[in-house]
Structure 1
Amino acid sequence: MEPPKDLEQLHEDVKQRLAVAGHRYTDGRRALVSALATAQRPLTLRDIVSRVPDVPQSSAYRNLEALREGGVVVRISAGGDRSHFELAESLLGHHHHLICVTCGTIEDMRIDGALEAEVDRALTGAAGEAGFTPLRHSLDLYGECSDCGEVA
């Protein structure tokens, strides 16, 4: 996934979202957002702390929670205790995930616009048959990454 084109605009958007949620946009939160924006994939807390060493792990976790509450960050579970964090889809754009069940790595994946539209139509149709009104979708594909698949 490509980093956002205009990092300064991203920071301004995040600042506004946090203000609405009653949170300040501190230097530490700004550093976490920059790390997530430039990562090109969801990151674990350990990954984030290694990219932003000036922010202690406990502070990083608390700040990620404030960013999550503000609609800026989402948590993705890879199973067990493997949580990853990324910027919200409204900031990054619509995408899906490839999740390795062996090592827990998560990669972002975009699909072709025509295929995305077909998936959306199929999901909307299935939901409608069940009397469900969909708002959005996300797809996570579980399997093995190329590193783990080579071991087998």
Structure 2
Amino acid sequence: MNVNKAIDLLKQEGYKFTDKREELIRIFAKQKRYMTAKEVLDFMKDAFPSLSFDTIYRNLSLFSELGIIEETELNGERRYRFQCSGADEHHHHVICLSCGKTKHLEACPLEKMVEPSDDFVITGHKFEIYGYCKTCEI
């Protein structure tokens, strides 16, 4: 995903394109990490002082539904990041618990753990490894 593709997707799906939505998309494109809604609001509050959490959450939900951003939960809190550029390719992440930076894992551990079954069809899964990047290492 990139900024132009995200903007085009919003327009294709018939959603109004606003300066707030554009700024939200640009923040995710620049940060390249998982962020909380509060972090997003903090990035936007100078440009949009009257911006509310409700507006942030509504747009995060919309962007997630459209595949512009992806979600995860860290320490009991939802976090969001720009959809990976290779989102069509199957991959997983290593996620820094401190700064939210991610790294792709190309191998899928599920393929080695689960054998095909006649009585259960797997339609999807999510695998994440948590720790600390070199910058945040304790």
Q: Is the CA contact 1:29–1:67 (under 8 Å) kept in the aligned structure 2?
A: no
Query: Which AA in structure 1 matches 2:63?
Result: L
Which of the numbers 21, 30, 53 marks the counterpart of 1:38?
30
Residue 41 of structure 1 deviates from its aligned partner by 1.1
Describe the superposition over 1:74-105 as per-residue Cα deviations: whole angstroms up to 9, x where unpaired: 2211132x11111122x3655513253xx6x5
User: Aligned residues: percent identity?
Assistant: 21
CA RMSD between the two structures = 3.1
TM-score (norm 2): 0.70
Name stretches of at least 5 consecutive residues in structure 1 with no aligned partner.
5-9
Query: Which AA in structure 2 matches 1:50?
Result: D
Residue 88 of structure 1 corresponds to 83
Q: 1:69 to 1:110 in 2, by over 3 A?
A: closer
Residue 70 of structure 2 corresponds to 74
Aligned length: 130
Query: Which AA in structure 2 matches 1:33?
Result: I
Superposed, 1:11-30 pairs within 5 Å as 11-30=3-22
State the alpha-carbon separation in 2 of the partners of residues 15 and 29 from structure 1: 9
Q: Is the CA contact 1:29–1:64 (under 8 Å) kept in the aligned structure 2?
A: no
Describe the superposition over 1:12-34 as per-residue Cα deviations: whole angstroms up to 9, x where unpaired: 21123223433222211110011
Which of the numbers 95, 109, 130 marks the counterpart of 1:142?
130
Name stretches of at least 5 consecutive residues in structure 2 with no aligned partner.
none
Residue 97 of structure 1 corresponds to 94
State the alpha-carbon separation in 2 of the partners of residues 30 and 15 from structure 1: 7
Residue 133 of structure 1 deviates from its aligned partner by 5.8
Describe the superposition over 1:31-77 as per-residue Cα deviations: whole angstroms up to 9, x where unpaired: 00110111121111121112222341322222222212222112211
Q: Is the CA contact 2:72–2:78 (under 8 Å) kept in the aligned structure 1?
A: yes
Residue 107 of structure 1 corresponds to 101
Q: 1:25 to 1:11 in 2, by over 3 A?
A: farther
TM-score (norm 1): 0.65
SS at match of 1:106: coil
State the alpha-carbon separation in 2 of the partners of residues 125 and 77 from structure 1: 25
SS at match of 1:96: strand
Q: Is the CA contact 1:15–1:24 (under 8 Å) kept in the aligned structure 2?
A: no
Work out whether 1:47 is the aligned partner of 2:39: yes
